[in-house]
Amino acid sequence: MFFFFNGNPYIAIIGDIRKSKKIENRNEIQKKLKQVLEEINHKYDKEIASNFIITLGDEFQGLLYSGINTMNIINEIERKMYPVKIRFGIGAGAITTDVNKEMSIGADGPGYYKARAAIDFLKDNEKKKQTNTADVRFEAEGDNHTITVMINTILSLLTAIKDSWSDRQREIIWDMLHHQDSQVDVAKRFSIKQPAVQKSLSKGKYYVYKDSMDIIGQALSEVRSNDV
């Protein structure tokens, strides 16, 4: 897989809380989101060109030097904010303004245009009640149509898998993704038997899900800024 860009590509991420106006404790959710983003900024500091910050009451954004940990960051935000549901727009492209590490507001360029286009696409699909609605979408600057279609097809399948999880399957799968260790270790943390972990992983299509995440991660890792 190869991306084709003119200039110096970054990865821009825009996140948006779904159905935020219907959330009763919006103030508490915003406080939690702020804390989660601060944790992301600390953990992935070396890969972040502009820190993730809340830009509106229910929206946030950040800028990455490369795409290598894009899906890990999105997965971590999803996991820590659950049951609040978030849609993510990922944009790959140049940034034409100065990049401020502490403040992503004010940055502009094709990278952010593409992330915004991805978010708008997801919102429109939800309004139309499309059957293949995803919660993450990718758009790229340049002649990258084939790769973009492939990535978005996989992202739609990932959403379908996530939507099929029971609460228990989600807990076990997210624990497995977070700790990256054995089924025996997961079983110990949940005080259950290893076969119960295996059953949840199998029914939740964990290995297909993880392999698909890894494929997207490998594709996005090719997007790298020269400014690192």
pLDDT tens, position by position, 104-143: 676 788 999 999 999 999 998 888 765 557 899 999 998 8
CB neighbour list of residue 123: distance below 8 Å, 6 or more residues apart: 16, 87
Once rounded to an integer, what is the mean pLDDT over residues 70-92? 95
Q: What is the 3-state secondary structure (H, E, C) of 54-94?
A: EEECCEEEEEECECCCHHHHHHHHHHHHCCCCEEEEEEEEE
Identify the band that residue 226 occupies on the pLDDT scale cut at 50, 70 and 90: confident
Question: pLDDT value at position 1?
Answer: 60
Burial per residue of 172-182, b for 16 or more beta-carbon CB atoms within 10 angstroms, e otherwise: bbbbbbeeeee
Residue 78 has pLDDT above 70, yes or no: yes
**């993450």: which residue's tokens?**
136
pTM exceeds 0.85 for this model: yes
Q: What is the mean pLDDT of the chain?
A: 90
| Banded model confidence at residue 228, pLDDT cuts 50, 70, 90 | low
